[in-house]
Structure 1
Amino acid sequence: MAIQISSELLDGCVLGILNSQDYYGYSLTQKVQESISVSESTMYPVLRRLKKNDLLSTYDEPYQGRNRRYYKITPEGKRQFGIIQQEWQEFKKGIDNMLGDDQDE
C-alpha cells in the first residue's frame, strides 16, 4: 500500500526544507525525495502554486553559462509553515492514537 501525500502536506515539506536554506528546483526535488516519493513533474506545479500564493519568491543565479532558478521562503511562507507544523502535530497525534503508537500512555 502506498500512502498518498496531500498537497497541503507536500506544501509543508517544501516550505520546511526552504525554511533552512534556498534551493534550485532540481536540488529541492532531490531533497524532498530523500524522505518521500515525489516526481519532478509533481514538484514544479507545487513550486509555481506556492510562488503564486506569495509563500515563495525566486531569484536566478548563473551556473556554468546558464541560470538556475532558486526558491526562497517568504515571511508569509514562514507564517504558513508554522500553521502547517501545528496542524501536522495534531493530525499525527490522532493517527498515532488510532494506530496504537501513542507514546504518551
Structure 2
Amino acid sequence: MADSIQIQLRKGVLDLCVLAVLSRGESYGYEIASTLVSAVGMGEGTIYPLMRRMQTDGLVATRIVESSSGPPRKYYRLTELGQTVFETHRSDWRAFTVAVDTLLEDLS
C-alpha cells in the first residue's frame, strides 16, 4: 500500500516538478529526467511523453542544439503561459500541503 501512495503522489506532481525545473532556466530532456530521478525518484521514461504534451499545450518551447559529443539536444524552456501555470500550481501545492500537514498534526 505504501508503494501505491508514493506512485500516486509522484504522478500527481510530475507536471509541477518539471515546471519547477524549467523555472530555473532552459534544460534538455535527459538533464530534466536526471534532476527528477535524483530529487523525487521519477522514472526517466515518463518525462518525454510529458514534455511533448507540455509543448502541445503551449507550456514549453523548444530549440535544437547541435552537440559535438553526440546527437543534437532538444532544449526546453517555459513559455509565458508555462510560467503562469507554474506559479498557479506552486501556489496550489503550497496551500494543499499546508492543509494536509494541518490534518496530520491534528491527528497526532
Q: TM-score range by the shorter chain?
A: 0.7 to 0.9
Change (3 A) 1:55 1:7: farther
Which runs of structure 1 show a deviation greater than 4 angstroms over 4 or more consecutive aligned residues? none
In structure 2, the partner of 1:23 is 27
In structure 1, the partner of 2:88 is 83
- Once the two structures are superposed, residues 63-84 of structure 1 have per-residue CA deviations (whole angstroms, 9 ceiling, x without a partner) of 1252100111100000000110
- The alignment yields a C-alpha RMSD, in angstroms, of 1.6
- Unaligned residue ranges in structure 1 (runs of 5+): none
- Give the number of equivalent residue pairs: 101
Asked if the contact 1:61–1:69 (Cα under 8 Å) also holds between the matched residues in 2, the reply is yes
Return the alpha-carbon distance in structure 1 between the equivalents of residues 79 and 12 of structure 2: 17
- Unaligned residue ranges in structure 2 (runs of 5+): none
Return the alpha-carbon distance in structure 2 between the equivalents of residues 19 and 98 of structure 1: 30
- In terms of fraction of residues, the more helix-rich structure is 2
- In terms of fraction of residues, the more strand-rich structure is 1
What residue identity is the alignment partner of 2:45?
Answer: S
| Percent of pairs with identical residues | 30
2:17 aligned residue (13, 37, 46): 13
Return the alpha-carbon distance in structure 1 between the equivalents of residues 56 and 12 of structure 2: 15
